[in-house]
A and B are shown apart, each in its own frame.
Chain A
Amino acid sequence: MKFVLRMAVRETRSSWRRLLFFFVCIAVGVAAIVALRSVIQNVRGVFGREARSLIAADVLISTNREWTDAARATIDRRLVEAGADAHTDTVETPTMVRPADSSKPTARMVELRAVGSEFPLYGTVGLQSGELYSYGMLQNRGVLVRAELLTALSVKVGDELTIGQSSFTIKGVITNEPGRRVGDFSLGPGILIALEDLPATGLLQFGSRVRRVLQVRVPEEPRIRPLVETLRDDFKDQFVNARSFRGTDDEIGRDFDRAENYLSLVGLVIVILGGIAVSSVTRVFVLQKMRSIAVLKCVGARSGQIIGVYLLQVLTLGFAGSLLGVVLARLAILGIPLALGNAASMLADVQYGITWSAAIQGIGVGVLVSLLFSVVPLLQIRMVKPSLLFRDEPLRGGRDWTRIIATVLVSAALVALTAWQAASLRVGLSVCAGFCGLALALHVTGRLLVRTMAPLANSKSFPLRHAVLHLSRPGNQTRVILLAVGLGAFFIVGVRSLQASLLEEFAVQSGEGSPDMFLMDIQRDQADGIRAFLTDPSHGAGPFRFIPVLRARVVGVDGRSVQLESFEDVRARGGLGREYTITYRDHLEANEKIASGAFWRGPSSVAEVSIEQGMAERNQLGVGDTIRFDVLGRVIPARVTSVRAVDWRDSRSGGFIFVFRPGVLENAPQMIISPLRGPEGPEARARFQHDLVEAFPNVSVIDFHEILVTVRDVMSKVTLAVSVVGGLVLLSGALILIGAVAMTKFQRVYEAAVFKTLGANTRTIARMLLLEYGVLGLLAGTVGSLGAIALTWGVSRWALDIPWRISVGEHVGGVIATTALVAAIGVLSSLDVLRHKPLATLRAE
């Protein structure tokens, strides 16, 4: 053992420089794992502590209908039974607000929340001014707003805002609002008003998208769960929902677990890439060390001892690389508060640092991957015979069962490692399979490309001929470089092209003449007024249409393939159970085609419905089935008479899953929505919204231009995040490349010396190197780009359902950048090959 230890120290001393880059790859991956896990655990800690204040109550009971007396009676009874000691009502609705000052012609959609005096039951409303929140601030038409609304409307604390038909005074700026979750989807910034001021706004009209929530405090925790279950049972067929803070906590916990495990897989992929590099370099290393190994065997060392020496060396370097990874993660995390600035959100309250569990996991993964990937190549040591000291002989070939068994065990261990990191065997298996598939595809493509280049080995140009020959020299690192650099290029080019493709798609949709604004919540009796407003040329609106909409829920299906008796059965089928916006009309829209059945002509008093093809296929519904709808409490059975294929990309006409035949729903309470072409220019659009809302305070306006800006913003953040990941992979690729050059440098120095002796000058050799790495970069870029084309095709077709576009610029740019990068790194790290004097080199050999 002493011998193994001593030799490992000596070997590490002499070869750490050559192996360094490979273990820096491990460090990069470990850093990604440790940083991601730590940050998510940090944030989770805060969220976990704040779970109660996140939903601001122990139990939330909500509905998007009006409370009925019967429902409130039941709830009151259950609350008494559960020992609830406090409850408070809140009402939430999206609406438009505008400055009362008519010199500021602008309006903005917000998420309004009207609260009672007991709000919040848990947590506190944080205010920017540092004042303590009290209900008194809201009373008498006070409003608390988010900072972004002040900016959007150019108003300040103390100014008046018009909400619906009332004016409110801005009393302060909210920094933290219990019950509103960070990252929740919202149509606009949140505002708080007093519940008692809500009726005067006139927003609680029929059909408004209002959510009424009863927040409840239950002092005895064990009674919370039974209360929620009892309420769910009481209201199982009604539009009432109950959940507990514990449910939210579990949900948040699951979200965090999932985020932590999935994100850290990114780090794992980088570590595995490092592992592949370690495997490849270990193979070359053993080949280079064959004589030393033979000498050791000659002086009495057993194979096991020698394998032990190199295994210990790999473990030491893997451990050192992993520690470096932890240091890198620490540095990256130090940067987070700087990146967040003084943003007043919960994220800024988190204490960021490395957690022990993340560090230990990272180091564990780094060391394990180093070990697993080096075991199989190190087993070659057994094949080295001391007789090679007499005559050069290759390693013994043939089937080596020990290595085959070791390979199987190592693969199983890698799957286990991935499953451990993903906390799921299924995900572990799929990631491993996916990675193997991708690696195999890149590898095969790489080989094909190398083969395609082969004729260049007969080129007249001496440097080009040798550059191509070098790609397939013994002990070359072509495959691993192609894999690592190709994978990096694949990530970056793929994601950038997808982004370009998506943005182009959005641009097409909001193109010339098509609607770019939506008016919602138009009451029937407002239709004429709105029509007059829109046709008034001074408002600058373009073409518009009115579409009647109702809200409905599927409560049963009587079909050939599917029988769903109750709403419970429907809900069990997931998506089908949600509330749908439905319409009725006697024609197909331009983006619709009949896939089966026949579309009606004219009205009928018998309910008929046409369903969207995707929905029909997902739920095995078809023509002839009867679907029971609950439309505002009235159950309407409707026969499916046609299935429509809807082109969702062309949503100018709006997209509806369920379209009814006219004749049944006309008299039911309903609303109107209106897609229209808004005025040109931001100022005209702001004024249009302001004037419209002034005339019709309950009507909401959704401006596609604003959404497009948000979409662009979100997408560029996602693209940045994925590009960072791609960048890390590319960085690993670059490190592997530098390492591969360092590893085979002695061979190059010798070859360069021979070439120089034979008359080649430094320029020829430099050109040879440049071409060799240029060709390698070109191949890697092409492999990545081909991969990206496949990725964008798959994602466009299967996931996003948008037409597939090749963004030629991204691909050409990607290939050129990869070629330049690889050529530059390759030549720069080989510079001393050019400087060596041939005689000294040949003598040393």
Chain B
Amino acid sequence: MIALRDVSKTVTSGTEPLTILHPLTTEIPRGQFVAVVGPSGSGKSTLLGLIAGLDAPTSGSVVIDGVDITKLDEDALAKLRGEKIGFVFQFFHLIPSLTAYENVAVPMEIAGAADAADRARRLLEEVGLTGRAHHYPSQLSGGEQQRVALARALANNLPIVLADEPTGNLDSTNGRHIMQLLKDIHQTRGTTLVLVTHDAEVAAQADTRLVMRDGRVVEGLSR
């Protein structure tokens, strides 16, 4: 379970402090599909980053399966992500110097999995990229890159997948394909899925919908 307690984030914009996420308390039960919607700059990605421990909150705590991750150092956070959280970015963020297969294998290799190679191949098969395994990101289309990113997020069979506008940079066909894959993963593996999206149609398929505006959740909050 993911629990946020009074989590806020303030950054310095120029010389002025700017609150991009006002104190927020909420819980996301295990296996839920949560869609976070709202206009640009409303704090959706910030929220996702805080849950993943990619960013530190200005105040409050983020608890994942009973562990307050705001108390962990960088290395412990990295370890936690390797064991529990997969992340899919809008801009894919694949490592350009690695092939598709290697991008998928990396998280498993970091975790020291013995069967990383086999599993990476299976995951690529699952996302329909068997034939593109040895291509570099620059040789793949946007849709293909996002599918590699998705396979990477699933690599260690992680209980939580956080996706930041995964279809935002894709055409509608590729977008639908990716969404289908995400839903399949959520349903077949019972993965907790937190998805940031602009797309109302996508959001409608979620168990819970959080609507954000100006750094606050204005709708769908569970307490």
B residues near A712, Cβ cutoff 8 Å: none
Q: Produce 1/0 per residue, B65-93, CB < 8 A to A.
A: 00000000011001101110001010001
B152 sits at the interface (CB 8 A):
yes
Q: Are A3 and B109 in contact, with the CB atoms below 8 A?
A: yes
B46 sits at the interface (CB 8 A):
yes
Q: Are A298 and B87 in contact, with the CB atoms below 8 A?
A: yes
Q: Are A292 and B96 in contact, with the CB atoms below 8 A?
A: yes
Q: Are B52 and A302 in contact, with the CB atoms below 8 A?
A: no
B residues 85-123 with Cβ under 8 Å of A?
A: 87, 89, 93-98, 102, 106-107, 109-112
A389 sits at the interface (CB 8 A):
yes
**Closest CB of chain A to B94's CB: distance in Å?**
7
A399 sits at the interface (CB 8 A):
no
B residues near A14, Cβ cutoff 8 Å: 96-98
B54 sits at the interface (CB 8 A):
yes
Nearest-CB residue, chain B, relative to A384: B74
* A510, B194: Cα distance in complex, Å: 92
Of A6, A13, A294, A382, chain B has the most CB atoms within 10 Å of the CB of A6
Q: Given A389-B54, A390-B46, A390-B55, is A304 in contact with B82 using a C-beta cutoff of 8 Å?
A: no
Q: Given A292-B95, A389-B93, is A300 in contact with B138 using a C-beta cutoff of 8 Å?
A: no
A residues near B45, Cβ cutoff 8 Å: 390
* A387, B11: Cα distance in complex, Å: 13
A residues 330-387 with Cβ under 8 Å of B?
A: 382, 385-387
Q: Are B49 and A299 in contact, with the CB atoms below 8 A?
A: no
Of A292, A300, A304, A382, chain B has the most CB atoms within 10 Å of the CB of A300
* A609, B69: Cα distance in complex, Å: 91
Q: Produce 1/0 per residue, A388-401, CB < 8 A to B.
A: 01100000000000
Q: Are B109 and A292 in contact, with the CB atoms below 8 A?
A: no
**Closest CB of chain A to B75's CB: distance in Å?**
4
A303 sits at the interface (CB 8 A):
yes
Q: Are A300 and B97 in contact, with the CB atoms below 8 A?
A: no
B residues near A15, Cβ cutoff 8 Å: 97
Q: Given A387-B49, A390-B49, is A300 in contact with B111 using a C-beta cutoff of 8 Å?
A: yes
Q: Produce 1/0 per residue, A241-285, CB < 8 A to B.
A: 000000000000000000000000000000000000000000000
Q: Are A387 and B94 in contact, with the CB atoms below 8 A?
A: no
Q: Are A300 and B95 in contact, with the CB atoms below 8 A?
A: no
Nearest-CB residue, chain B, relative to A302: B75
Of B49, B79, B95, chain A has the most CB atoms within 10 Å of the CB of B95
B residues 140-170 with Cβ under 8 Å of A?
A: 152, 155-156, 164
Q: Are B89 and A2 in contact, with the CB atoms below 8 A?
A: no
Q: Given A11-B97, A295-B94, A299-B81, is A387 in contact with B55 using a C-beta cutoff of 8 Å?
A: yes
Q: Are A305 and B93 in contact, with the CB atoms below 8 A?
A: no
Q: Produce 1/0 per residue, B44-64, CB < 8 A to A.
A: 011001001011000000000
Q: Are B82 and A299 in contact, with the CB atoms below 8 A?
A: yes
A residues near B95, Cβ cutoff 8 Å: 292, 295-296
A844 sits at the interface (CB 8 A):
yes
Of B54, B79, B152, chain A has the most CB atoms within 10 Å of the CB of B54
A residues near B83, Cβ cutoff 8 Å: 300
Q: Are A3 and B55 in contact, with the CB atoms below 8 A?
A: no
A297 sits at the interface (CB 8 A):
yes
* A299, B106: Cα distance in complex, Å: 8
Size category, A interface = 20 to 34
A413 sits at the interface (CB 8 A):
no
B residues near A7, Cβ cutoff 8 Å: 106, 109
Size category, B interface = 20 to 34
Q: Are B89 and A389 in contact, with the CB atoms below 8 A?
A: yes
Q: Given A15-B97, A844-B138, is A297 in contact with B109 using a C-beta cutoff of 8 Å?
A: no
Q: Produce 1/0 per residue, A412-456, CB < 8 A to B.
A: 000000000000000000000000000000000000000000000
* A300, B83: Cα distance in complex, Å: 8
Q: Are A6 and B109 in contact, with the CB atoms below 8 A?
A: yes
Tell me if A's interface is mostly helix, strand, loop or mixed. helix
Q: Produce 1/0 per residue, A296-337, CB < 8 A to B.
A: 111111111100000000000000000000000000000000
Q: Given A292-B95, A297-B74, is A2 in contact with B54 using a C-beta cutoff of 8 Å?
A: no
**Closest CB of chain B to A565's CB: distance in Å?**
75
**Closest CB of chain B to A10's CB: distance in Å?**
6
**Closest CB of chain B to A12's CB: distance in Å?**
10
**Closest CB of chain A to B212's CB: distance in Å?**
15
Q: Given A2-B112, A302-B78, A302-B79, is A296 in contact with B106 using a C-beta cutoff of 8 Å?
A: yes
Q: Given A297-B74, A302-B78, A390-B55, is A10 in contact with B110 using a C-beta cutoff of 8 Å?
A: no
Q: Given A3-B112, A305-B110, is A300 in contact with B96 using a C-beta cutoff of 8 Å?
A: no
**Closest CB of chain B to A518's CB: distance in Å?**
73
**Closest CB of chain B to A18's CB: distance in Å?**
11
A residues near B164, Cβ cutoff 8 Å: 390
* A382, B74: Cα distance in complex, Å: 9
Nearest-CB residue, chain A, relative to B149: A295
* A10, B136: Cα distance in complex, Å: 12
B residues near A302, Cβ cutoff 8 Å: 74-75, 78-79
A551 sits at the interface (CB 8 A):
no
* A294, B138: Cα distance in complex, Å: 19
A291 sits at the interface (CB 8 A):
yes
Name the contact of B93 in the complex, choosing from A291, A303, A844 (C-beta under 8 A): A291
* A507, B19: Cα distance in complex, Å: 80
**Closest CB of chain A to B102's CB: distance in Å?**
6
Of A14, A298, A389, chain B has the most CB atoms within 10 Å of the CB of A298
A residues near B74, Cβ cutoff 8 Å: 297, 302-303, 382
* A7, B102: Cα distance in complex, Å: 9
Nearest-CB residue, chain B, relative to A2: B109
B residues near A382, Cβ cutoff 8 Å: 74
Q: Are B82 and A10 in contact, with the CB atoms below 8 A?
A: no
A residues near B107, Cβ cutoff 8 Å: 299-300
B residues near A304, Cβ cutoff 8 Å: 75
Of B75, B152, B164, chain A has the most CB atoms within 10 Å of the CB of B75
* A40, B74: Cα distance in complex, Å: 53
Name the contact of A300 in the complex, choosing from B49, B78, B89, B94 (C-beta under 8 A): B78
Name the contact of B152 in the complex, choosing from A11, A13, A299, A303 (C-beta under 8 A): A299
A residues near B79, Cβ cutoff 8 Å: 300, 302
* A633, B176: Cα distance in complex, Å: 113
Q: Are B97 and A292 in contact, with the CB atoms below 8 A?
A: yes
A residues 670-728 with Cβ under 8 Å of B?
A: none
Of A294, A382, A387, chain B has the most CB atoms within 10 Å of the CB of A387
Nearest-CB residue, chain B, relative to A295: B93
B residues near A301, Cβ cutoff 8 Å: 78, 82, 106, 110
* A355, B115: Cα distance in complex, Å: 47
**Closest CB of chain B to A7's CB: distance in Å?**
8
Q: Pull 13 A–B residue pairs with CB atoms less than 8 Å apart, ordered by A.
A: A6-B109, A14-B96, A14-B98, A298-B52, A300-B111, A301-B78, A301-B110, A302-B79, A303-B78, A385-B54, A386-B54, A389-B89, A389-B93
Given A2-B109, A294-B93; 16 other pairs, CB 8 A cutoff: A3-B109, A15-B97, A295-B95, A296-B110, A298-B87, A299-B81, A299-B106, A300-B107, A302-B79, A303-B78, A305-B110, A382-B74, A385-B54, A386-B54, A390-B45, A390-B164
**Interface on B for A, CB 8 Å cutoff?**
45-46, 49, 52, 54-55, 74-75, 78-79, 81-83, 87, 89, 93-98, 102, 106-107, 109-112, 138, 152, 155-156, 164
**Interface on A for B, CB 8 Å cutoff?**
2-3, 6-7, 10-11, 13-15, 291-292, 294-305, 382, 385-387, 389-390, 844
Counting from the closest, the 3 A-B pairs by CB-CB distance are A300-B82, A14-B97, A299-B107
